[in-house]
Amino acid sequence: MTRFEVGVGDRVLAVQVSGAADGRPVFLLHGTPGSGSGPRPRSSVLYRQGIRLISYDRPGYGGSTRLPNRRVVDAAADVRAIADGMDIKRFALVGRSGGGPHALACAAVLPHRVDRAAVLVGLAPWDAADLNWYEGMADQNASKHIAADQGTVEMMHDLRALAEQTAADPKSLLEELRTQMSAPDLRFMQSVLYRRLLVKSYAEALRDGPYGWLDDILAFRRDWGFALDTIVPPVRLWHGAHDTFSPASHSRWLAQRIPRSEVHVQHDAAHFGAMEVLPRILTWLAA
C-alpha cells in the first residue's frame, strides 16, 4: 500500500493506494465516521481483479485538512484533484454508507471522467419527497441527524464527547454500534478481522477530533449541490434489507431518481454486509 498527500489549495488530502499499479483505477469513498484506511479487499485480491484501489480521508478526518461548511458536492473537486495528481483520466467509484452521497456527487459533476459508480448502503437526501427518512433507522443513529436539524451546538457537544471517547478507546464505538445492529450485522461482527479493521479505521478517522464526522452529518442535511437526475454514468446500488443505520428504502428511493441505475436489496444482509459484497461490486466497476 502506498500513502501520500495531495494538495488542494491550502489543504492537503491523505491518500492511500493499493492493488495493481497498472490496474483499473477505482476510488473507494469511506463511511461516516471513517477513513481511507477502512476495510478493503487484500492487495492480492485486487491484483487478481486488475484493480488499482484509491481511497482518501475526507476533509476533517485522519490526515486530511478540514474544509469548514463543506457540502457533499465538494467531494468531486477533491477526487478530481487526486486523479489529476495521479495522472488518471478516467475512473470508477464506489461509496460505502456515508461515502455514497459523495460518490454520486462525483458521478454527477465529473461525467466525462467517471465510467461507473456504485453505492453500498447509502443515504437519500434528507428532504427526499415521499420517503420516511427515519423509518427503520436505529434511534441512536437517527438522533444525530435530528440534532443537525435542531442546531449544531447540541450535536457538536454530543459528537465531540463520543469522538473523544472513540479516540481514547476505538473499540468503544464498535460496542455502541452493536446495541443498534440487527441480526445479520451481529453475525458479521463475529469476524475478528473485520472488527480489527473497523477499529483501526475509527481510530485513524478521529485522531484529531470530531470535525470530519460533524461536517459529514451537516453536509447530509444541507442541499447536496447537484441533481440526481443529471447523473450520466451507470450506477449500481446495493443494500442489506435489515440495515438499521441507513435503511434499504433509501436505495430504493435513489434508484427511482437516478437514470441508468439498478438496485439490489439482499435479504439476508444488513449494513456491514457492504464489506463482504465489495469484491463483487469491484468486479462490476472494473468491467
Peptide bond into 25 cis (omega under 30): no
Residue 209 has pLDDT above 90, yes or no: no
Q: Indicate the DSSP class of residue 57.
A: P
pLDDT category of residue 152 using cuts at 50, 70 and 90: low
pLDDT tens readout for residues 232-262 = 999 999 999 999 999 999 999 999 999 999 9
Mean pLDDT of 172-181: 92
Q: How confident is the model at residue 162 (pLDDT cuts 50, 70, 90)?
A: confident
Cell of 198: 473497523
Specify the residue for cell string 476533517. 60
**Given CA atoms 242, 216, 213, 58 in this order, what sign does their dihedral have?**
positive
Q: How much is the pLDDT for 76? A: 98
Q: Look-up: residue for cell 439476508? A: 268
- How many Å from the N-terminal Cα to the C-terminal Cα in the chain? 23
User: Kind of pairing, strands 91-96 and 24-29?
Assistant: parallel
pLDDT recorded at residue 229: 97
By CB atoms closer than 10 A (0-12, 13-18, 19+), residue 268 is exposed
What value does the mean pLDDT take over residues 103-123?
Answer: 98
pLDDT tens across 257-276, in order? 999 999 999 999 999 999 99
5 burial (CB, 10 Å; 0-12 / 13-18 / 19+) is: middle
Of the two residues 152 and 239, the one the predictor is more confident about is 239
Q: Where do the H-state alpha helices sit in the chain?
A: 43-49, 74-85, 99-109, 139-150, 152-168, 171-178, 183-188, 192-205, 211-221, 248-257, 274-285
> Between β-strands 11-19 and 51-56, what pairing exists: parallel, antiparallel or unpaired?
antiparallel
Cis amide bond preceding 184, omega within 30: no
Which pLDDT value is given to residue 49? 95
Each residue of 18-55: pLDDT tens digit?
A: 999 999 999 999 999 999 998 999 999 999 999 999 99
pLDDT at position 151 is 61
What is the DSSP code string of 78-130? HHHHHHHHTT---EEEEEETTHHHHHHHHHHH-TTTEEEEEEES----TT-TT
* Helix, strand, or coil (residue 35): coil
Which pLDDT value is given to residue 156? 64
Q: What is the mean pLDDT of the chain?
A: 93
104 grid coordinates: 454520486
pTM of the model: 0.95
pLDDT in the model for residue 167: 81
Cα–Cα distance between 40 and 226 in angstroms, integer? 28
Give the per-residue pLDDT at 154. Answer: 61
| pLDDT tens, position by position, 114-135 | 999 999 999 999 999 999 999 9
Phi, psi of 19 (to 5 degrees): 95, -155
